[in-house]
Amino acid sequence: MARPRSEDKRNALLTAAAQVIAELGVSAPTARIAQLAGVAEGTLFTYFRTKDELLNELYLALKAELRDVMLPNYPKAESVKNRARHAWRKYLEWGVSNPDKRKAMTQLAVSDRIYERTRAEALEAFAEVDALLRESTAHGALRDHPPAFAAAIMGSLAETTMDFIAREPKRAERYSAAGFEAFWNAVARA
């Protein structure tokens, strides 16, 4: 009879995977992930049938965590710019506080090992932000960029901003404001 799976072990494996992938990339050995999680390598495959399944589940978990940080207290009734600024600040807070998770998510985002259905599921988690982009474009507040392109601009500028904040934490507010202004100028209609 198979042992019941533990949510704690599954979470430990995901946490370890984020750390190891941040360090070694998506080609990181599963043995190292299991070792860091404090389990046997075979145990990893009790929770995730394949390494690709582990990578896809990690991608979804990281996106869900980011969503859970960005969307509470989302100012739905405020201007487009204020809603975008809220999402920006929350994204930066999460990324600066979780450098390994941020780096792992960045590597997973460009990996061909993440399935299209996983990417689509992750996007659904941000449906509210996507709706903001589409609505704002339709009403002329934003340039007519595809939402994925606007999100990519935000992601790239946020990564740069987080790198500078990590190097010079005392200038965090300055970098955050400058990064947001660059993003806003790239997506908003003049």
Question: Given this model, what pLDDT does residue 126 score?
Answer: 80
Give 3's pLDDT tier (boundaries 50, 70, 90): low
Sole residue written with tokens 């807070």: 93
Question: Given this model, what pLDDT does residue 82 score?
Answer: 92
Q: What is the CATH class of 59-187? A: mainly alpha
What is the helix (H) or strand (E) element at residue 123, kind and residue range? helix 116-124
- Contacts from 124-131 at CB under 8 Å and sequence distance 24+? 125/63, 125/64, 125/67, 126/63, 126/67, 126/70, 126/151, 128/71, 128/74, 129/70, 129/71, 129/87
- pTM, full prediction: 0.88
Q: Quick one: average pLDDT of 171-186?
A: 97
pLDDT(1) > 60? no
Largest CA distance in the chain: 65
Q: CB-based contacts of 41: which residues, under 8 Å, 6+ apart?
A: 30, 31, 34, 35
For residue 47, give the 3-state DSSP assignment: helix
Q: Quick one: average pLDDT of 76-103?
A: 93
Question: Given this model, what pLDDT does residue 113 score?
Answer: 97
Q: CB-based contacts of 175: which residues, under 8 Å, 6+ apart?
A: 161, 164, 165, 168
User: What average pLDDT does the structure give for the chain?
Assistant: 92
Sole residue written with tokens 């990417």: 119
